A and B are shown apart, each in its own frame.
Chain A
Amino acid sequence: MVRTELLATLVPALPLIGTFIAGFGRRKLSAYGAGGLATALVAASFLCSLLLFLGHDGQTHIVHLFNWISVGTMNIPFAFQIDALSLWMMLIVTGIGSLIHLYSIGYMHDDPRVATFFAQLNLFTFSMLLLVMGSNFLVTFIGWEGVGLCSYLLIGFWYTNPAYNYAGRKAFVMNRIGDVGMVLAMTLLFHLFGTLNYAEIMDKAGALSPGHPLIVGATLLLFLGATGKSAQLPLLTWLPDAMAGPTPVSALIHAATMVTAGLFLVVRSSVLYELAPYTQSIVLWVGVATALFGATVGLFQNDIKKVLAYSTVSQLGYMFAAAGAGAYSWGMFHVTTHAFFKALLFLGAGSVIHALGGEQDIRRMGGLKGTTKTTYITFLVATLAIAGIPPLSGFFSKDGILAATFAANPLAYGLLVFAAMLTAFYMFRLLFLTFFGTYRGSAHPHESPRVMTVPLVVLAVLSAAGGVLNLPHVFGGHQWLQHFLAPAADGLANEQLELPASTEWGLMALSTVLVLLTIWYTWTLFGKKTTLDGEPAEMPFLKRLIAKRWMLDELYAALFEKPFSWISRHFFSIGETKVAVPLTAGTGRAAHGLAEWMRKLQTGETGFYLFGMMIGVVVLLLITWMGA
Chain B
Amino acid sequence: MDFELTHRFNESKQQWDIRINGEIDIYNSSKLKETLSGLIEQHKADICIYCSELEYIDSTGLGALVSILKKVKQYQKNIHLVDIKPNIYKIFKITGLNKVFIIEGVDHE
Chain A complexes with chain B: no
Q: Which A residues are closer than 8 A to B by beta carbons?
A: none
Q: Which B residues are closer than 8 A to A by beta carbons?
A: none
